[in-house]
Amino acid sequence: MRAMILAAGRGVRLSPLTDTKPKPLIRVGEKCLIEYQIEALHKAGIQDIVINTGWLGQQLIDHLGSGSRYKVNLEYSIEPESGLETGGGIYQALPLLGNKPFIVVNADIFHQFDLEGLGHDLDADTLAHLVLVENPSFNPGGDFCMLENKVFLKDPALPDSHDHADKKSYTFSGIGVYRPELFIELRPGKFPLAPLLKAAIRRARVTGEFTAARWFDAGTESRIAEIERFIR
């Protein structure tokens, strides 16, 4: 299985830190954020990793290189500095990811979730499989609901979600498995991933799993400080 790390974002909330350095290269403890993702994927047995680059992307390429020092093979999907958003970024990288399901991980998270085996038993009808976590304080309403292993929309105003509006909601961790077919009707360009997921959820083609493993979003300086306190 191949994997992709989403690393092209501008990191506006971390300015001025990200004015001269891409967010994935911000150090947390003894490593850069993206190095934690690479090591977790390698630990899970994944050797081939695609990284999309946008803002100050050459710094990422120069720092990570071929991936040999991490014992993985790194390839780069180079985007404009303004980026292509999550959906557009994955779409552009599809030729590097092959025709089988692949893992996608956000660069700007820190987690202790075991990626080994993720997506290996993906049902043929499933277009996406999401790893969900407890709602953090900055996202108390969550993103999705889940019944058994099926993911549902939490907004009761949307089709196919009202029967599950009273179910517990969860936050998307930024870790998922996707089939290339999720993107089959799209064209190159800049677009988010969320609408694609919601459309697939309405067709009951998205599964999920909850993890109680420690998970942090690294989108602000205060959250990075929280991670540093945790890993000391």
DSSP code string of 80-101: -TT--HHHHHHHHHHHHH-SS-
pLDDT for res 165 = 46
- CATH number of the domain that 212 lies in? 3.90.550.10
Average of per-residue pLDDT values in the chain: 95
Q: What sign does the dihedral 119-42-36-114 (CA atoms) show?
A: positive
pLDDT for res 164 = 52
pLDDT for res 116 = 97
User: Based on the structure, what is the number of domains in the chain?
Assistant: 1
Q: What pTM was computed for the model? A: 0.95
Instruction: Place 161 in a pLDDT band, splitting at 50, 70 and 90.
Output: low
Q: Which residue is listed with tokens 């490593």?
A: 31
Distance CA 110, CA 132 (A): 14
The tokens for 140 are: 């108390």
Range of the domain at 202: 3-231
With residue 36 as reference, give the H or E element that holds it. Answer: helix 33-43
Distance CA 227, CA 120 (A): 30
The tokens for 4 are: 């992709």
